[in-house]
Structure 1
Amino acid sequence: MATPIRRSDRRVSPVFLGILAVMAVTGWAVWDGYGASAGFAVFLFVTSAWVVSLCLHEYAHARTALHGGDISVGAKGYLTLNPLKYTHALLSIVLPVVFVIMGGIGLPGGAVFIERNRIRGRWKHSLISAAGPLANALFAVVCTAPFWLHALDGVPLVFRYALGFLALLQITAAILNFLPVPGLDGYGVIEPWLSYGVKRQIEPYAPYGLFAVFVVLWIPEVNDVFFGAVHHLMQALGVSELESYCGRELYQFWRSPDEYVCGPVG
């Protein structure tokens, strides 16, 4: 029998609060403008905000599982938003950050261990899997609020670019996570509705699902369709492709910025 949820199991971790503080300070630096250091400030702001969103993604899984019947998530530390408590910190935090730095794409995380045997009902299992990418989608809506609310007056251009790129990361993470591929949350949504025999046949391929997705994304035609869908959603939220592109240019401050497209931002 799992121990009841204690108040300390729900207390927000100092680690997460520290990451939030970095996001707030660097967000202020981006807003205030730091001349030639604008790119570095954008890098720190977007990276810390991305880690915050990854923590919220995992928290959403755990919180939904708690309400579904798995009270063991409290003792595992999943409700504290501490990224160091994940069963696979490499998959949930390190690799997603590395992929953002390398290519500017939101790699799906997903490394909280849910004791599924404690949960009754297929809808609950599906909702637990959907909760993570839904958190990314909500984060994207919040990031783009100044755009779709038409409240950009007074928002510095660099900060607008940073928000655009951060929103793009959330959209890509949400879409990739919702793919019905073994090992991703999208498959977790439909898995409870599959027959036992089908699940047994698919199970051996689960560890390779994410790798297969990224191999397929290297196909130019597939890549064009994928990012076409991403930018369509971004435009629906009021963010132009130019704004997210310039945000990525600033984020990768070690490269020469495309000032011809984005203009001087220092």
Structure 2
Amino acid sequence: MAKKSIALITGANKGIGLQIAKELAAKDIIVLIGARDLSRGTAAAASIGANAWAVQLDVTDPTSVAKAAEYIRERFGHLDILVNNAGISHAGQAGRSMEELVQSGFLSHVSYDEMQRLFATNVFGVVTVTQAMLPLLREAPAGRIVNMSSMNGSLTLNADPSNPFRQFAGIYAATKTALNAVTLSFAIELESTHIKVNAVCPGFTATEMNNFSGTGSVEEAAREPVRLALLDENGPTGTFSNANGPLPW
């Protein structure tokens, strides 16, 4: 086991994160299923097999993040891959249609609670987890960080009147724009090291995040994150892409 690469995927007990974990595990990588609810993480790990382990990890709780990092150090000694997958598109969905969820995120009337929760998970959580895992990534021969972003966060695309998806620009898009900035900042800071940092858009995928209204499959969504997680030494850092290629910031 000591010779195997170790990958941590946050929010990996379901959806795209779970699919990424499955694909990395199939390549004989030890995958750590980060989950707020450890029982759900354990169930997800069991569905993958011997290469999967559950780790209690709430990206909005610094104590939880620190304990996860401590566990990884004690059990594995290093970390090769970090996929910051955990994210939310709204603060709650009970009884609300997709149209209502989108409208609730418009900046003209988004609630303070919604803003706070989205930024806490999608931006501050990524920074907190990355900071905690960096010492472990530095112990690996070639560290890789993949941040799950969205085309909705592209300022260039949102500034284009011909882009039909710009109508969805709101607080969620703003958090992904901030995440792109965070990605580039980490990439610049770490560009003299063996750690590569990239952002990826998985596409409009049918997951719980959008009430399963997405048009893409989790298999399609996992393709580009897995590629970036497995970059060789000649791979790029500080990029934003999807399965079709580079995306503008």
- With normalisation by structure 2, the TM-score equals 0.29
- With normalisation by structure 1, the TM-score equals 0.27
Larger Rg: 1
> RCO greater where, 1 or 2, for CA within 8 Å and sep 6 or more?
1
